[in-house]
Amino acid sequence: MYNDDEIELTLAERAALASLPREMETGDMLEARVVRALRDKGHFGEPPVRRRGSLQVMWRIAAALALFAGGVATGRYILAADVPESASISARASNDRNARDTTPRTETRPVRQNETVVAEREMWL
């Protein structure tokens, strides 16, 4: 229907099209208008704020990790220092537990200090 030959441009037409201006002068007002519109939308100056925010988050994460590692180290240090004592406590606690095994499971009983130490030791080691 639309043959390429039929719509082919003549050399004169090509030359005329090629000679059309490619640029139009823009004034300072247009630039100022566009920059102002972008500023109004809060575009310029935002990224530095974002960088500061992300830096703060990174410092907070680092501080949290340091606190956690400090806690782990302290716990290990305390448990390592108590090993002989807690081992004997553990043996005694085991005997006590065996003795109490005859009591019904549903019965409530107070938690003793020795049992807590054993549980902590098992958790860390």
- Residues that bind other proteins in the complex, under the rule CB under 8 A: 1-2, 6-7, 9, 13, 16-17, 20-26, 30-31, 33-35, 37-38, 41, 43-48
**8 Å CB contact between 79 and 120:** yes
Locate tokens 């830096």: which residue? 55
Q: Which CB atom, from 43 or from 100, has the smaller least distance to other proteins?
A: 43
Report the 10 Å Cβ neighbour count for 67: 10
CB of 5 to other proteins, least distance (A): 11
Q: Residue 91 and residue 115: Cα distance in Å, rounded?
A: 11
How large is the greatest C-alpha to C-alpha distance in the chain, in angstroms?
112
Q: Residue 24 and residue 4: Cα distance in Å, rounded?
A: 32
CB of 9 to other proteins, least distance (A): 7
* The one-letter amino acid at 57: V
Q: Which CB atom, from 35 or from 62, has the smaller least distance to other proteins?
A: 35
Q: Which CB atom, from 11 or from 111, has the smaller least distance to other proteins?
A: 11
Q: Which CB atom, from 15 or from 91, has the smaller least distance to other proteins?
A: 15
CB of 52 to other proteins, least distance (A): 12
User: What is the length of the chain?
Assistant: 125
CB of 125 to other proteins, least distance (A): 51
